[in-house]
Chains A and B, each alone.
Chain A
Amino acid sequence: MTRYSCLPRSLFVVVLILVGLGQALAAPRLNIEITGGIESAQPIAIVPFGTADGLIPPVDMAAIIGADLARTGRFKPMPTRDMLDMPSTREEVDFRDWSLLGMNNLVIGRVEPDPTGYRVSFTLFDVFRGTELASTSLVSTKSGMRQTAHRIADEIHEKLTGQPGVAATRIAYITSTGSGADLTVTLRVADADGYNPQTIVSSAEPLMSPAWSPDGQRLAYVSFENKRAAIYIQELSSGRRELVASHPGINGSPAFSPDGSRLAMTLSKDGNPDIYSLNLLSRELTRLTDHYAIDTEPSWSPDGQSIIFTSDRGGSPQIYRMAAAGGPAERISVEGDYNGRASYAPDGRSIVMVTRVNGAFRIGQLDLARGVTRLLSRGDLDESPSFAPNGAMVIYATIHGHRGVLATASVEGGGSQRLTQDSGQVREPAWSPLRR
């Protein structure tokens, strides 16, 4: 990295921020490695898509769809080399062949030219019944072809599991390189498969705690760019942003309410870290907790009625729940001497959190009805868990080979992946809402 030691430090920060804001910048890709699979994964054949004569699509649609389905841990796509034939129309399909190969489902498709770019059609079959389960045709620009493939993967996922797929979602995360005066921290957003990473903020001071708005259009985050913690909300499409909290002391833990009207946060302006709620329309700030202990890491229930948070009011950090308007709090984490950074599953029945087990910080899922915690990770310093918007997976930060990387774990158990960048540290993943 070039050093601009002649520039005043503050100017340096401003320059970096401006670069980060003007236009989202292409960044190194996250590489995804599948580190564990589910034994009950369903066999599925996704045949390379046929094309009109002479047409060469910009991406291999079948390969992207297959990788998307494999990453869920629920599907085991057939290698192309094992396929006996490669039909791309209904008439060319011989269900007996695919049945003999042990396939439950078959996907065929075609890519045709279109004034916009391409017309992509696909059909999903039940091999045993010989019936059509889904058939759709989509128009896509050239640059939108990966996203179109993700949408097809999600439609297949939903048809076969009854649950929406998350291939077309995105992940926000923090990266850092260097330290001290050479520190560079970025906030990036990438597709759920690690492709198309873009830097949306870059700074010489720490960035923390990215949080998605429920419509997936904005990110709230903490930035130290002015040598103190402040909370910003940034619109992804334009890069425009707004400073929403810059009080004396800490300004941290932003969390949008499910209806997007409020932002919960931690402020210590009144002498001690407590939880507040900012009405984003009226700008009215309401204090929700008032305790001499640390209260932080608020997270809303999916129905918006309650907020869970971390507090050490009982002597060790534990998870508490209160009404969204504040008031008395009840402790909901039962086991262990350190539980923190909790967030709700989309169905509201469980929470995922950081829990300490024999000195190791791991990701635990607490079943709220049964009060039982199940471990989802095996590292020593795992943190920042975030549910996929369909509740099937959790993404978190871990250390691998002395480097900060991201990992996912299937909530059903078994399936896991590691997401790494070629250089630097990666941390604080936040999974976007479903794309509408």
Chain B
Amino acid sequence: MTESRTTHLAALFLILSGAGLAGCASRPAPSDMSASMPTPTTTVGSAATTAPLESTRPTYAGPWEDPSSPLYERTIYFDYDNAEIKPQYLDVIRTHARYLGSQPGTRVTLEGHTDERGTREYNLALGDQRAESVRRFMLAEGVPAKQLATLSYGEERPADPGHSEASWRLNRRVIIQY
């Protein structure tokens, strides 16, 4: 929802600014931009049209959707053919572990993914091991097991479909899904 609201606002802004943004005009606009604009309405007996202004206050399903929250960072990246958590991600996981400890009713799925190199079923197993690494660390941090589930997609749902390291490094990941 947040993303589509942003798109609405961006569309409104682009249209209102008109010629002032001529320098950006060469960038192709997302094709669904006009479709997502509110339909202008005409009042009978008037030449003017009005449109409702959407609320600018974002609504989040939880703090993990709020870019200003430390819980917003929910992806842990891994080295190739490796399920060990790299030290720079330990604090990310701890932050979520603390939050989950304070919210006994909140459950997360630790979703493991791999890059496309190697065989698909091996990668399904590797994604499982990555998710399991994060789960074990969270258990050690005191999160009750019933709040944690794991799911491996292996290489079946890449974040980036490219065939080079620039894409692969984005695909070797565990996402903490609330």
Contact = CB atoms under 8 A, between A and B. Distances in A.
B151 A296 contact: no
A383 B151 CA distance: 23
Nearest to A250: B128
Given A273-B128, A381-B116, A381-B117, A297 B122 contact: yes
A312 B121 CA distance: 13
Contacts of A253: 121, 124
A191 interface: no
Interface stretch (A114-122, A156-164, A223-231): A223-231
B118 A428 contact: no
27 contacts: A179-B158, A183-B157, A209-B121, A222-B124, A224-B153, A227-B151, A250-B124, A268-B125, A271-B132, A272-B132, A273-B128, A273-B129, A294-B122, A296-B121, A296-B122, A296-B125, A297-B122, A310-B121, A310-B122, A317-B81, A317-B119, A341-B120, A361-B117, A361-B118, A381-B163, A384-B120, A402-B163
Interface in A292-334: 294, 296-297, 310, 312, 316-317
Interface of B: 81, 116-122, 124-126, 128-129, 132, 150-154, 156-158, 161, 163
Contacts of B126: 294
Interface in A174-190: 179, 183
Contacts of A310: 119, 121-122
B102 to A, nearest CB: 26
A354 interface: yes
Contacts of A208: 120-121, 124, 154, 156
Interface in A216-258: 222, 224, 227-229, 249-250, 252-253
Contacts of B117: 361, 381
A266 interface: yes
A206 B156 contact: yes
A195 interface: no
Contact of B125 (A266, A316, A383, A402): A266
Contacts of B125: 250, 252, 266, 268, 273, 294, 296
Interface of A: 179, 183, 206, 208-209, 222, 224, 227-229, 249-250, 252-253, 266, 268, 271-273, 294, 296-297, 310, 312, 316-317, 338, 340-341, 354, 361, 380-381, 383-384, 399, 402, 428
A428 B124 contact: no
A340 B117 CA distance: 11
Contacts of B150: 249
- The 8 A-B pairs at the shortest CB distance, nearest first, are namely A206-B156, A273-B125, A340-B119, A341-B119, A294-B125, A253-B121, A296-B125, A250-B128
B118 A338 contact: yes
A294 B152 CA distance: 14
Nearest to B157: A206
